[in-house]
Amino acid sequence: DVKVTQSSRYLVKRTGEKVFLECVQDMDHENMFWYRQDPGLGLRLIYFSYDVKMKEKGDIPEGYSVSREKKERFSLILESASTNQTSMYLCASIGQDTQYFGPGTRLTVL
Partner 1 sequence: RKEVEQDPGPFNVPEGATVAFNCTYSNSASQSFFWYRQDCRKEPKLLMSVYSSGNEDGRFTAQLNRASQYISLLIRDSKLSDSATYLCVVNVPFRSGGGADGLTFGKGTHLIIQP
Footprint on this chain of partner 1 (rule: CB under 8 A): 30-31, 33, 35, 40-43, 45, 48-51, 54, 56, 58, 90, 92, 94, 99-104
Side chain identity at residue 86, one-letter code: T
Between residues 40 and 69, which has the closer beta carbon with respect to partner 1? 40
Which residue lies nearer to partner 1 by CB, 49 or 85? 49
Q: Minimum distance from CB of 81 to partner 1 (Å)? A: 22
**How many Cβ atoms sit within 10 Å of the Cβ of residue 4?**
22
In one letter, which amino acid is 81? A
The nearest distance, CB 51 to partner 1, in angstroms, is 8
**Beta pairing class for 42-51 and 19-25:** unpaired
Residue 28 has what DSSP assignment?
-
Nearer to partner 1, 30 or 77 (CB): 30
- Cα separation, 37 vs 14, in Å, equals 20
